[in-house]
């Protein structure tokens, strides 16, 4: 059974499925919300996400019902979800409303954390040499932001064509019963047209450079996978919460045609089982259904089994595992790809890359892409991407082979966060080659069918194999 068919079974609640934890009940009980409420005072209000049955009610009707309970609301333009600001007692009342399928905590999500070699590893350099660069294709980077002011590789507004950042003080934006104002719309809660939406970690800036950086600051040496593509930076804050991720998806759908957005990069996630009714999964399905390819990092919790980012498990997205470079590599990425099984397999799969479940038709990555010692664009903050990457940033010459001349504009990191934008860039190349008409399902089919097989590894570890940009582009070229 393929992942799409299995998803239909899960969404129908089929009793024959043996992985019961992967099936969402009619009314979901979110463990994260249960834990939050256990330590929340009776009079305190918390942000929650309400998932409702769109065949039984509307956003306006659900918002009115939530406000009647006494809670505040924010609506989404394109997603069948409502955000609420509510006390514990009100949350219980909301959960009991007709058509409500689940109430979820607005929990913090984690960013899953060298182009010259990695672009060659996936043969994207050969695609660029043929004249295909992703020209005209819009790539949305849903992340910490993009520094299009400091870094010429991502310059705003010609390379990064739109750059937005979330508004602060979210709790001040909810609409309560009796207000003369209509409920706020999540997609409108951004500041637009910012040269720099990256204010802290530099994660989104690094990711954006992998997908589509121009390589200007390095004389072309650190050019991204699809340098002809245009970037849309969606800065969801220095800490990514579920609400802002949903608002980002809502913004993408509002502006899909404005920027010809064909693919969205999601180098972030969480842990736990796959729940098809989780708000993020519901949103990514809507984005997919509107013709945008959704790509998620598989996670950095390997090498144990059943450690995948559950958002990458959804059958309508492309989940990406992290591998090492397979061309001559001065960054010595293979130090992180020693075989963990004792079988002396090739040093291809990163030791940290999350794994699925052997034999399970759902729990596996789709493809593998370079994710170790990746050199890409540095933000003006100059900070390392996370604590685990401090050794990279403090030893740029010895660890990542970055010259002193390039160090001001480039830094080095490892993670499935870095593998994901490689695939996103390939999607942009494919769309240009095909004239822009590829559906997300066709993109996924071609990427998996043309991936370079890794016969020593299982589907649950590497998916279909190592992504091959040249083979994928040739398969769809007009």
Over range 24-41, report the average pLDDT: 80
The region that residue 169 occupies, defined by phi over 0 for left and psi between -120 and 50 for alpha, beta otherwise, is: left
Per the model's pLDDT, the better-predicted residue between 135 and 28 turns out to be 135
Q: Please, how many CA atoms are within 13 Å of residue 293, restricted to the half-sphere of its CB?
A: 32
Give, in words, the CATH class of 3-106: alpha beta
CB 322 within 8 A of CB 419: yes
- Secondary structure (DSSP) of 417-467: HHHHHHHHHHHHHHHHHHTS---HHHHHHHHHHHSBP-TTS-HHHHTT-B-
Cα Dmax for the chain: 68
| CB contact set of 216 (below 8 Å; sequence gap of 6+) | 152, 153, 155
Average pLDDT over residues 105-116: 76
Mean pLDDT, all residues of the chain:
89
Confidence of residue 1 (pLDDT cuts 50, 70, 90): very low
Determine which helix (DSSP H) or strand (DSSP E) holds 396, and give its type and residue range: helix 396-400
Q: For the chain, what are the domain ranges? A: 3-106, 109-476
**Residue 13, φ and ψ in degrees, nearest 5:** 70, 40
- Identify the sign of the CA torsion 52, 58, 62, 67: positive
Quote the pLDDT of residue 397: 60
- Determine which of 108-112, 152-156, 213-217, 466-470 has the lowest per-residue pLDDT on average: 108-112
pLDDT tier at 2 (50, 70, 90 boundaries)?
low
Grade residue 294 by pLDDT with cuts at 50, 70 and 90. Answer: very high
User: How high is the pLDDT of residue 331?
Assistant: 72
Hey, what are 122's tokens? 């996936």
CB 147 within 8 A of CB 159: no
Task: Write a three-state SS string for 138-160.
Answer: EEEEEECCCECCCCHHHCCCCCE
- Band of the pLDDT at 12, cuts 50, 70, 90? very low
How far is residue 93 from each of residues 67, 87, 244, 390, 394, measured CA to CA in Å?
11, 10, 24, 46, 52
Give the pLDDT confidence score for residue 389 in this predicted structure.
Answer: 54
At residue 22, the pLDDT reads 34
pLDDT in tens, 403-433: 889 989 999 888 999 999 999 999 999 999 9
Evaluate if residue 326 carries a pLDDT over 90: no
Q: Output the pLDDT for position 68.
A: 97
Mean per-residue pLDDT, 198-211:
91
| pLDDT of 19 above 50 | no
The pLDDT of residue 306: 97
- Cβ-defined contacts of 394-399 (< 8 Å, 24+): 399/331, 399/332, 399/373
**What is residue 8's predicted lDDT score, i.e. its pLDDT?**
42
**More confident site: 388 or 74:** 74
* Whole-number pLDDT of residue 111: 73
How confident is the model over 256-273, as a mean pLDDT? 96
* Confidence at residue 138, expressed as pLDDT on a 0 to 100 scale: 98
pLDDT bucket at 437, cuts 50 / 70 / 90: very high
Question: Of 266-280, 293-307, 326-340, which range is least confident?
Answer: 326-340
The answer to whether 253 and 78 are in contact (CB under 8 A) is: yes
- Determine if the peptide bond prior to 303 is cis (ω within 30°): yes
Is the pLDDT reported for residue 328 higher than 50? yes
pLDDT value at 345 more than 90? no
Average pLDDT, stretch 50-79?
A: 97
Of residues 27 and 349, which shows the higher confidence score? Answer: 349
User: Which pLDDT band, with edges at 50, 70 and 90, does 6 fall under?
Assistant: very low
The answer to whether 305 and 356 are in contact (CB under 8 A) is yes
Per-residue model confidence as pLDDT tens digits over 346-400: 889 999 999 999 999 999 999 999 999 899 999 998 665 554 555 555 566 667 8
Are 3-106 and 109-476 the same fold in CATH?
A: no
189 pLDDT exceeds 60?
A: yes
Structure tokens at 414: 């490892």
- State the residue for tokens 């013709």: 291
How far apart are alpha carbons 177 and 399 in whole angstroms?
57
The contacts of residue 463 (CB under 8 Å, 6+ apart) are 319, 321, 364, 365, 366, 367, 368, 448, 451
Q: For residue 170, is pLDDT > 90? A: no
Selection from 439, 441, 421 nearest residue 431 by Cα: 439
Mean pLDDT computed over 279-291: 98
Using pLDDT thresholds of 50, 70 and 90, give the confidence band for residue 112.
Answer: low
The CATH architecture to which 109-476 belongs is: 3-Layer(aba) Sandwich (3.40)
Interhelix angle 88-95/59-69, nearest 10 degrees: 140
Q: What is the pLDDT of residue 398?
A: 60
pLDDT score recorded for residue 385: 54
Please give the structure tokens belonging to residue 300: 């950095």
pLDDT for res 362: 96
Residue 320's contacts (CB-CB under 8 Å, 6 or more residues apart) are: 295, 296, 297, 298, 312, 365, 366, 367, 368, 369, 371, 416, 419, 420, 422, 423
pLDDT at res. 5: 40
CA angle 459, 464, 465 (to 5 degrees): 100
Two tokens, residue 136: 């005209």
The stretch 5-15 carries a mean pLDDT of 39
| pLDDT above 70: percentage of residues in the chain | 90
Tell me what pLDDT residue 412 has: 87
Average confidence (pLDDT) over 109-130? 84
């Amino acid at each position: 059974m393929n992942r799409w068919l299995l998803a239909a079974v899960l969404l129908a609640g089929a009793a024959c499925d043996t992985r019961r934890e992967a099936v969402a009940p009619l009314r979901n009980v979110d463990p994260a919300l249960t834990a939050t409420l256990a330590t929340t005072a009776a009079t305190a209000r918390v942000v929650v996400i309400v998932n409702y049955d769109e065949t039984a009610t509307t956003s306006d009707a659900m918002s009115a019902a939530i406000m009647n309970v006494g809670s505040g609301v924010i609506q989404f333009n394109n997603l069948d979800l409502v955000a609420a600001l509510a006390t514990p007692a009100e949350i219980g009342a909301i959960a009991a409303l007709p058509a409500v399928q689940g109430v979820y905590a607005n929990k913090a999500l984690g960013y899953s954390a060298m182009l010259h070699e990695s672009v060659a590893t996936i043969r994207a350099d050969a695609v660029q040499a043929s004249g295909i660069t992703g020209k005209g294709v819009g790539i949305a980077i849903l992340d910490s932001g993009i520094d299009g002011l400091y870094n010429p590789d991502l310059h705003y507004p010609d390379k990064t064509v739109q750059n937005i950042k979330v508004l602060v003080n979210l709790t001040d934006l909810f609409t309560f019963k009796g207000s003369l104002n209509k409920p706020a719309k999540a997609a409108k809660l951004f500041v637009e047209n910012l040269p720099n939406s990256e204010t802290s970690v530099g994660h989104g800036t690094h990711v954006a450079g992998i997908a589509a950086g121009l390589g200007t600051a390095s004389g072309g040496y650190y050019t991204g996978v699809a340098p002809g593509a245009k970037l849309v930076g969606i800065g969801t804050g220095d800490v990514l919460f579920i609400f802002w991720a949903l608002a980002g998806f809502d913004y993408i759908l509002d502006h899909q045609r404005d920027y010809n957005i064909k693919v969205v990069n999601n180098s972030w996630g969480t842990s736990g089982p796959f729940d098809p009714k989780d708000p993020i999964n519901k949103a990514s399905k809507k984005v997919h259904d509107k013709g945008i390819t959704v790509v998620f990092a598989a996670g950095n919790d390997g090498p144990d089994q059943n450690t995948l980012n559950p958002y990458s498990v959804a059958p309508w997205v492309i989940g990406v595992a992290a591998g090492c470079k397979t061309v001559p590599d001065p960054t010595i990425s293979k130090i992180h790809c020693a075989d963990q099984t004792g079988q002396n397999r090739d040093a291809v799969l990163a030791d940290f890359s999350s794994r699925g479940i052997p034999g399970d038709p759902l729990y596996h990555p789709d493809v593998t892409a370079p994710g170790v010692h990746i050199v890409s664009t540095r933000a003006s903050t100059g900070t390392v991407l996370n604590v685990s990457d401090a050794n990279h940033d403090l030893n740029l010459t010895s660890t990542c082979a970055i010259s002193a001349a390039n160090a001001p504009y480039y830094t080095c990191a490892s993670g499935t966060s870095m593998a994901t934008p490689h695939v996103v860039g390939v999607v942009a190349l494919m769309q240009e080659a095909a004239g822009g008409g590829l559906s997300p399902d066709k993109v996924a089919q071609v990427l998996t069918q043309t991936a370079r097989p890794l016969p020593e590894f299982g589907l649950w570890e590497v998916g279909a194999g190592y992504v091959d940009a040249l083979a994928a582009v040739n398969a769809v070229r007009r």
